[in-house]
Chains A and B, each alone.
Chain A
Amino acid sequence: MFEALSDRFDGIFKRLRGRGKLTPADVDEVAREIRLALLEADVNVRVVKQVIARIKERAVGADVAQSLNPGQQVIKIVHEELVTALGGTAGRLHTASKPPTVIVLAGLQGSGKTTVAAKLARLLEHDQGKRVLLVGADLQRPAAVDQLRVLGERVGVPVFSEPTDPVSVARTAVAEAERTGRTTVIVDTAGRLQIDDALMTELAAVTDAVTPDDVLLVVDAMTGQEAVAVAESFAGTVPLSGVVLTKLDGDARGGAALSVKEVTGVPILFAGVGEKLEDLEVFHPDRMASRILGMGDVLTLIEKAEAAFDADEAAKAQERLLEGRFTLEDFLDQMRQMRKMGPLSSIVGMLPGVPKEMRNAEIDDGELSRVEAIICSMTPAERRDPAVINGSRRSRIAAGSGTTTAQVNALLKQFKMVQQMMRSLTKPGKKGKRGRRMQLPPGMTPDQLGAMPGMPGLPPVR
């Protein structure tokens, strides 16, 4: 629903293209768009100001690198700033010198503490070989402890709780862990509002009682401006050491991550990315930065394209294309170049503006192998001029590539369509509906799309 930052930039940078340096006026204009994008992503207003100030400082007078146009250059600066702000390198959990290591989870109601407790227990127990004890210290919400018990059973981790009070539950649990040889204790606390003084005091009492090695704030990725107040209040009450960002499997931009990081200074350690108990990942600042900017992994894509892409080859191909001499040989070359960038499904995932049905669809990389086999079974003459392919040639190609004549026909038909489509794309001023649907990376023109390795003839999405 939100326009990707890269699309916003598109118009501005069309005018800037060809200039060597960015003037303060250019940067101001760009800064306005960045501000919009960050606000739409729910980054706190005040945090936005700080980030923009830093970006401006870097962008004014920045050399526009030869390989990048000004748009890409600024996006790169913005992206780098955000990655730094989100905590450049990944943080990690602390381990007590004398076990058990104690981790306390805190946060607002409904942020996902109980689910995170179970997911974290699974991660530590199964992937890191820890012996975990889950502790249900949420005695407020009806059946919260039951929920933890069920989840504990599912991940194969024991759960401790008793109907006393949170402080004594936590204290007894640590003793219980020592007794039963559990090396890590994860305490799930009740959700509380940051303005509820009584409950915040109670939380402080819990952390005082068990001196945790880590106190993690669990934050819903959909949180708005309030994230700052929440983070400030929790950080002021308990010794926060990390953040877990939940519900990232939705479509929220997750600007709250930036706000929380700026306010607390503690690293974001994990991200909840799905309903299943395995769906807890180590947090990646660079991916989060791209998400906040709403640009898919365009940067990764640009990098991959630059790495995989032979500029001379592409130029030649484009030239032939413009002259209407685009052959199956060029088609094969481009397809191979694209495959160097990685599996198709991951590339589609990186493109901004791809509809979510397509993003979630299964893309069959096998289809590409089939296409490659068919073309390789043709003679050079056939590749250059598919018109010569008659019935008996079709049968031979099908036999040679282990496919059917119907599949050979389908490819030839598809290639013909691609040829037509490419001709219309390369005609200036005729962008058509297609151009709007697939939003191009910043500063990229449809011509460049034509030269992009292998873009034509994507296999059918199923």
Chain B
Amino acid sequence: MKLRGRLKRSRAPFAGMRARMRARRLDDEVWDELEETLLLADTGLDTATTLVDAVKARAVAEGVDDGDAVPELLEREITAALEATHADRALDLEAGRPNVWLLVGVNGSGKTTTAAKLATQALADGHSVLLAAADTFRAAAADQLEAWGDRLGVEVIRGQEGGDPGAVAFDAVQAAGARGIDLVLVDTAGRLHTKVNLMAELEKVRRVVERTPDVLREVLLVLDATTGQNGLAQAREFTDAIGVTGVVLTKLDGSAKGGVVMAIERTLGVPVKLVGVGESADDLVAFDPDEFAAALVGRDGDDGAT
């Protein structure tokens, strides 16, 4: 229930809705309000309309005729929509061989911090870890990762500032092979998905890693949960360019939202694998549709919680 606990703030719009829905007849006004509440969670209009229609249909099918039941119906529909994709949300990490995870995303989404958190968790699970500072662009990005490496006692492979990120990734994969490291976390530079040359650079990093067969296990798109509808464009472009295997939704603790991941799963089939709900390493938790839905909609006793 950690996710739900941490998402308390997120429920504000839904909590308000729950109170307003009480003992109301199911008329158009109710459906409009439901749609608006979903929009406030950044689901986008398509997803919101689909969900409202589904809730409406279910209300008719089950003979529900007052507003009290709406939040629960909504929760079930959100869960159903997320489970309908049958996505494999497990992270691919096999002990006894090098596994490379690539972290990609736009500027400021939280790639470096996510790398540090993933390293912490892998270490706790008894894996050996190597960090690769393939962000050679942002000033002091490698220093930031190195500071984490020092704290965690993990080696950081880095290159020249302004150097070739592919070379850093290559060195890291080689080093991991030589030293029998389990997990290589490659932190790449933030880049807007519209920058053609920067996306090509990322493709090259991927190719370089793939020169060692079978080591690239995950390409994780790090997405800031405060992102709105542009999140879908980001997911699409990164998926087209380098084949994203999963989404890490960061900073969900501050946000009312993350609704855009529903559109990402639905239209691109890319599963959300992890969500970040706080500053500490344990605050990066596995994504669970049921909990996400419950956290988003809230349960009894959450009324008016803000």
Contact = CB atoms under 8 A, between A and B. Distances in A.
A356 B233 CA distance: 14
Nearest to B110: A110
B229 A42 contact: yes
A169 interface: no
A336 interface: no
Interface of A: 1-2, 36, 39-42, 44-45, 108-112, 141-144, 146-147, 149-151, 154, 193-196, 220, 222-227, 229-230, 247, 249-253, 255-256, 275, 356-357, 360
A229 B192 contact: no
A193 B259 CA distance: 18
A142 B140 CA distance: 9
A224 B229 contact: yes
Contact of B230 (A42, A45, A142, A195): A42
B106 A247 contact: yes
B289 to A, nearest CB: 20
A356 B259 CA distance: 27
Interface stretch (B21-29, B41-49, B71-79): B41-49
B226 A230 contact: yes
Given A142-B147, A143-B144, A250-B230, A109 B110 contact: yes
B194 interface: yes
B196 interface: yes
B226 A224 contact: yes
Contacts of A151: 139
B107 A247 contact: yes
Nearest to B256: A226
A459 B145 CA distance: 49
B141 interface: yes
Please tell me the size bucket of the interface on B. Answer: 35 or more
Contact of B228 (A42, A112, A141): A42
B192 A226 contact: no
Interface of B: 9, 36, 39-42, 44-45, 106-110, 137-141, 143-144, 146-148, 192-196, 224, 226-234, 236, 251, 253-257, 259-260
The 3 closest A-B pairs by CB, nearest first: A224-B228, A110-B108, A42-B228
A360 B226 CA distance: 29
Given A220-B226, A225-B40, A247 B143 contact: no
Contacts of B226: 108, 220, 223-224, 226-227, 230
Contacts of A247: 106-108, 192
Given A1-B233, A146-B143, A220-B226, 20 more contacts: A40-B44, A42-B229, A110-B224, A147-B140, A147-B144, A149-B140, A193-B251, A193-B254, A194-B254, A222-B106, A222-B230, A223-B228, A224-B228, A225-B41, A227-B226, A250-B192, A250-B193, A253-B229, A253-B230, A275-B137
B233 A196 contact: no
A225 B45 contact: no
30 contacts: A2-B229, A39-B45, A42-B229, A45-B36, A45-B40, A108-B226, A108-B251, A109-B108, A109-B251, A110-B108, A143-B140, A143-B143, A144-B144, A146-B140, A147-B139, A147-B141, A154-B139, A220-B226, A222-B106, A222-B228, A222-B234, A223-B226, A224-B231, A225-B41, A227-B226, A247-B192, A249-B195, A251-B192, A252-B230, A253-B230
Contacts of B140: 143-144, 146-147, 149-150
B304 to A, nearest CB: 16
Nearest to B148: A142
Contact of A36 (B45, B106, B107, B255): B45
Contacts of A220: 108, 224, 226-227
Contact of B144 (A141, A149, A223, A256): A141
B194 to A, nearest CB: 5
A246 to B, nearest CB: 8
A40 B193 contact: no
A200 to B, nearest CB: 11
A45 B39 contact: yes
Given A108-B254, A110-B107, A222 B194 contact: no
